[in-house]
Amino acid sequence: MLPISNPANLVVFHTGMPPLGTWLVDFGVPSLLSIAVTFVVIRLLFRKELCKTIECEVENAKLGANGKLVLVGLALMIAVLLTASAMKKDLGLPTCLAALVITTVVSIKSKSNPITLAKEISWGTLLLVAGLFVVVDAVESQGALDLTQRWLAWASSLGQSMGAMIVGFAVGISNNIVNNLPLGLIAGGTIQAAHTNGLIANAVLIGVDLGPNLSVTGSLATILWLLAQRKDSGGEPGEEKLDVSFWKFLRVGVVAMPLALFAALGGAILMQMIFGQR
């Protein structure tokens, strides 16, 4: 819905980020349609599980002082992100500084050693992200952008609506092969080099955002979420170690992703018909 909602948004448009008003017009309706379709699909697929009884008598857990402090810190980080985005500044450094400030304040108040937080960092994921960026440079050095530009020109020649559908689905499925961050970088480079804008560029972004819902390899966010679910909670009540396998995720994604992607692309085409090319 917003430019800062997904890191992939930033790498796709990079320095060519549309104004917020234009962004909301282009992606507001597609976002709402994709959410509605995904909800309906999940509701139907898990209808049996949702009909089962659940434990109603649970302990009322109150948010402690440190929890409230973190909540304020998150609000501060959101404000920093929105301000930096509105001023068209890079978001990495402001976000990092806000996180360091929050960590420092919480550590001082709770009299805890911030070094222990290092154990909670998924260092393997950081190496994965670094490797993905190296892969992008390697692929681009072999002339991949020339191939992707020619392919984008071919898709565009089929007409805006048909081209948008083809581009959106091709990008969406490709995310699950190489991950949406490197694909977003390549797609962003292709869009800028080919001076592509309007509906086709929007279809690229929609594919980058929704395509990863197909499988666990599609996006960094999914990988981080699965790592968090698989962590041992240390016996905390109400927190159980969960393991969502590749195939269990795929069985849902293979239904939910194409339908949501089709709805979002249809919404983007509708917005283009109503408001025209901007």
Tell me, rounded to whole angstroms, the distance of Cα 29 from its chain centroid: 17
pLDDT surpasses 90 at 29: yes
Q: Which residue has the higher pLDDT, 237 or 57?
A: 57
**Structure-block tokens of residue 158:** 């089929």
pLDDT band for position 277 (cuts 50, 70, 90): low
> In this predicted model, what pLDDT tens digit does every residue of 70-108 receive, in sequence order?
888 888 888 888 888 777 777 778 888 888 888 888 788
> In this predicted model, what pLDDT tens digit does every residue of 182-222 receive, in sequence order?
888 888 888 877 777 788 889 999 999 999 999 998 988 88
- Across the range 56-79, mean pLDDT stands at 81
pLDDT surpasses 90 at 256: yes
Identify the pLDDT of residue 39. 97
Identify the pLDDT of residue 42. 95
Q: Residues 6 or more apart from 37 whose CB is under 8 A from it? A: 256, 259, 260, 263
pLDDT surpasses 90 at 173: yes
For the whole prediction, is pTM greater than 0.85?
no
> In this predicted model, what pLDDT tens digit does every residue of 227-250 receive, in sequence order?
778 775 554 555 567 778 889 999
**Residues 267/33, Cβ–Cβ less than 8 Å:** yes
In three-state form (DSSP H/G/I as H, E/B as E, the rest C), the secondary structure along the chain is: CCCCCCHHHHHHHHHHCCCHHHHHHHHHHHHHHHHHHHHHHHHHHCHHHHCCCCCCCCCCCCCCHHHHHHHHHHHHHHHHHHHHHHCCCCCHHHHHHHHHHHHHHHHHHHCCCHHHHHHHCCHHHHHHHHHHHHHHHHHHHCCHHHHHHHHHHHHHHCCHHHHHHHHHHHHHHHHHHHCHHHHHHHHHHHHHHHCCCCHHHHHHHHHHHHHHHHCCCCCHHHHHHHHHHHCCCCCCCCCCCCCCCHHHHHHHHHHHHHHHHHHHHHHHHHHHHHHCCC
> In this predicted model, what pLDDT tens digit does every residue of 32-52 receive, in sequence order?
999 999 999 999 999 998 888
Tell me how far apart the alpha carbons of residues 25 and 276 are, in angstroms, rounded to a whole number: 11
Q: Which residue has the higher pLDDT, 143 or 176?
A: 176
> In this predicted model, what pLDDT tens digit does every residue of 124-137 receive, in sequence order?
777 877 887 787 77
pLDDT surpasses 90 at 257: yes
